[in-house]
Amino acid sequence: MSETTQGREVVIVSHSCSGYVGDSSTKYLVPRKKKDHSTSQNSPGHVVGLINIATSFAVTRLNLVAGAGGSTPIWKMDDESGFLVIRAYPREMFYHDLPADEGNEWDQKLERQSVKGLTEGDELAYAGWKDVPVWYLATTEDKSYPIQAQRVLWQKSMDEGGDITVREIHSSHSPMSSRPKETSEFILEAVVNFAR
């Protein structure tokens, strides 16, 4: 929000679960076309686009798990600890197309994911992708979020009126690690298009 209050036009880049947060954060930061939404109209800057990398699309007033249609076979919710438990080897799920030493290094940096972050916050969830154009980078070799599931959700969003441009990249769930050049080129191309 500090960027928009300074008059800057902002593009939000999200990956994986953060797509829900990125979408929802636009609620008061985009120019509104409808009079039934409140916004900080005094803010001189706005979010002008979303770049989503292997993400789902937020559904207004539904938490991430409910909006995406439930949990996945690769993880389960551990109510006792309050964290997700990955049922598979994380390196294989997220970094299988990296050299072993690099994949292991990223694997060691992973933090535990709170169950609450995925199952609460319905009142904050907002389909911001309906308000601004979205460029979506789909990861075709993704073992944690299969391309088939990605296709279903981006097509559903398009069917509901989303202005969504899709590009596919031959990579795991983390193309910024395994295909950094192509990922950065995608981001730059999207930003140029948002500026038009």
- Domains (ranges, CATH) in the chain? 2-195 (3.40.50.1820)
Backbone region of residue 171 per phi and psi (left: phi > 0; alpha: psi in -120 to 50; beta: other values): beta
Q: In the prediction, which pLDDT does 4 show?
A: 78
Q: Taking the alpha carbons of 163, 167, 173, 179 in that order, is the dihedral positive or negative?
A: negative
Q: What is the pLDDT of residues 97-147, one digit of tens each?
A: 999 999 999 989 988 888 887 778 889 899 999 999 999 999 999 998 999
Highest mean pLDDT among 18-27, 40-49, 139-148: 139-148
User: Which of the four pLDDT bands, split at 50, 70 and 90, describes residue 72?
Assistant: low
Measure the CA–CA gap between 120 and 141, rounded to whole angstroms.
30
Reported residue count of the chain is 196
Q: Decide: 96 and 143 in contact? Cβ < 8 Å.
A: yes
Neighbours of 89 (CB within 10 A): 11
Q: How high is the pLDDT of residue 39?
A: 46
Task: State pTM to two decimals.
Answer: 0.86
| Across 13-27, 65-79, 100-114, least confident range | 65-79
pLDDT of 162 above 90: yes
Of the chain, the end-to-end C-alpha distance in Å amounts to: 22
Give the percent of the chain with pLDDT over 70: 89
In whole angstroms, what is the distance from residue 56 CA to residue 98 CA? 24
pLDDT greater than 50 at residue 35: no
